[in-house]
Amino acid sequence: MENPWLKLNIENSPYILDCDREIVNEFNERKKSYNNHKIRLDNLPTPFAGDFENAKILLLQLNPGSEILPGLEPTENHEFFIYKNLKNELLKSLRHNKMDYPFYWLNPDYMMTGGFKYWVKIFPSVINNFDDYKKIANNVCCVQYFPYHSKNYGHINKILESQNYSFNLVEEFIKKPDRMIILMRAENYWLNSPVAPKLKEFGYSTLKSNRNPVLSRRNFTKEEDYNRFFLLSQF
């Protein structure tokens, strides 16, 4: 399936694919008085991350978060101005280019970003030293159910064209042997998506807490799933 993100205008905001524009703009128009649910187009979308050819573990999430500081209007992602190479890293990920840290949010070069701070808390049991960041970044990939940022997710009740590419990434991942899928958030949305039949047939692991989806022994629904996650993350 052709990667629609190759056509994304990355020169300036709004960062949105033409094929998604009508539905997203319609949603934002309806949600004018609900700023927390508004889809933010001043940040580059991050629909997926990781090396889908070689990673052993796929994480299924809801959508990229968005921190809006009190009293400030949302603007172009300030992290791009602090980390000059970060935007280029996001573009490489969107294009599936080769990267030293395919799951780029675990790259210590960006340790003060919101993404790094979020994800490093997700892997408390498998990141114990500096070398582990790169190891996990090459063993794990992630797909967001919805590709665009918002502070709080508001369901559109429609499937964007770009989402079909994300669903296709999941389907292709399922075809490869010795893989694991962890459904971290939005189980109801994923199980009502076009990929649901293959996802159910393949089997997936779940967590006890979706609000705090830490990949720890205590948070996995089944201990054997944690043991498998631990072993696959070490390759």
Give me 94's structure tokens. Answer: 């969107």
CA atoms 56, 133, 190, 169: torsion sign: negative
| Average of per-residue pLDDT across 112-116 | 91
Q: Which pLDDT does position 143 carry in this prediction?
A: 98
3-class state of residue 142 by DSSP: strand
Q: Do the beta carbons of residue 166 and residue 82 sit within 8 Å? A: no
Q: Which pLDDT does position 10 carry in this prediction?
A: 87
Q: Which pLDDT does position 25 carry in this prediction?
A: 95
CA distance 77 to 65: 12
118, 120, 114, 117: which is closest to 133 by C-alpha? 120
Going by pLDDT thresholds of 50, 70 and 90, the confidence category of residue 181 is very high
Q: Is the pLDDT of residue 75 over 70?
A: no
Tens-digit pLDDT profile for residues 191-205: 999 999 999 999 999
Q: Which pLDDT does position 36 carry in this prediction?
A: 82
Q: Which pLDDT does position 79 carry in this prediction?
A: 83
Tens-digit pLDDT profile for residues 20-38: 999 999 999 987 756 788 8
Q: Which pLDDT does position 74 carry in this prediction?
A: 53
Give me 79's structure tokens. Answer: 């992290």
Q: Bigger pLDDT: 10 or 7?
A: 7
Going by pLDDT thresholds of 50, 70 and 90, the confidence category of residue 66 is confident
Going by pLDDT thresholds of 50, 70 and 90, the confidence category of residue 70 is low
Tens-digit pLDDT profile for residues 147-170: 999 989 999 999 999 999 999 999
Tens-digit pLDDT profile for residues 84-102: 899 999 999 999 999 999 9
Separate counts of helices (H) and strands (E) for the chain = 9, 5
